[in-house]
Homo-oligomer: A and B are copies of this chain.
């Protein structure tokens, strides 16, 4: 039997600890695994971007660019991969195109190979500049489809979006399922649709979280449909809100017409390394192991707990049911955006406001921007009545152009402002840090010289805990 080799992207160094332990893992807790990761046979190693940049400067006193260069050095044979939020880069607003290009160039120069470019609203215009910038550096530009479920989202719609991304020069496509919503059959149908429309050699990478307990089956069906690469996390950094275990993927494919070419001896070493590290960050882990509520509520777990705390802060914890019923209506008014950062927060907060203060009586600035097109276009039309209310409250007109088209060149201003900060080192990468995190960068620059801070527990603390636990364990038995 001739076997097809499935590529694997290991996410332990980025998304796994972002999802399991609030992105808190220090670089020093990763370095010892790198030699084995580099030799295990992965298609790529996701290790940067997403929330890691923010976390590095906010919590870990680590320069994210040092982290990137360290990975480049320790993983010489691997393709390094990052997650990039299109025109937002790794920050929380749209940046002018020149800033986007400078960020991509710096990332490529410092060692990045594969750029997974996405937009929370699936608006291709918000991905285009970043993707073209990646292609210009000669690196791998991966266009991303954020998967969600709504009355307007169809297999055909996803296949169409795939075509737009390919037209933009995507070297491969990512089917990204951040909420673990992607069930086996739609995964199969979307991938078959893309392959049969644009050619069997269209590379498709599949990214699923494990939250709902279903998505290893989704990866199986995706592979049967022709998926080329799938994302997994080494087992000791897997499951719950994280990802499916790499070793389980290998075992799943044994005896089938697919294989992975991964080196199991290396995987075991990587696993053992992180099995030792993970308990250090237990304080940042959530207890959720499996949660299938999202299939009925359509509300991601993180969004639900945000809304719950907002309600509790207002002494209205009993209104969560009403808010959960309000979410789909707000989402429909906004044209059915996928619920992922930042749209999940924007829609969730507005649903809370609607329940507490009356329907659209008070609108957040962000929700008004969403309704007026300042985040880009959604798949559905926005409710014209609500657009009107947004216009009146925000005193801004709706737009139909690409949001970043309204921005003026800003690199010089950003450079000048950054240069005034204590500890600024004069590099473009420091300007980028300031551009993306203007509130956090000043503090980071001023403390950077103190060096990285590990927020995990120490060996001694872990040992003391284990001893306390085994005492109480004996008492119970």
Interface residues of A (CB under 8 A from B): 183-186, 212-214, 216-217, 220-221, 235, 238-239, 244-245, 247-248, 250-252, 254-256, 264, 268, 283, 289-293, 295-296, 455, 457, 472-473, 476-477
Contact = CB atoms under 8 A, between A and B. Distances in A.
The count of identical subunits is: 2
Contacts of A185: 254-256
Contacts of A212: 248, 251
A440 to B, nearest CB: 17
Contact of A252 (B214, B264, B477): B214
A2 to B, nearest CB: 16
B184 A213 contact: no
Nearest to A475: B283
A476 B214 contact: no
Given A213-B245, A216-B216, A247-B292, A252 B476 contact: no
B290 A214 contact: no
Nearest to A456: B476
Given A291-B235, A295-B251, A476-B283, A244 B213 contact: yes
Nearest to A254: B183
A214 B256 CA distance: 14
A248 B184 contact: no
A285 to B, nearest CB: 11
A190 to B, nearest CB: 12
A404 B477 CA distance: 36
A473 B217 contact: no
A184 B235 contact: no
A130 to B, nearest CB: 33
Given A213-B216, A220-B184, A283-B476, A292 B251 contact: yes
B213 A183 contact: no
A283 B475 CA distance: 10
Contact of A248 (B221, B238, B290, B473): B290
B235 A292 contact: yes
Contacts of A473: 283
A216 B239 CA distance: 14
A283 B252 CA distance: 32
A248 B214 contact: yes
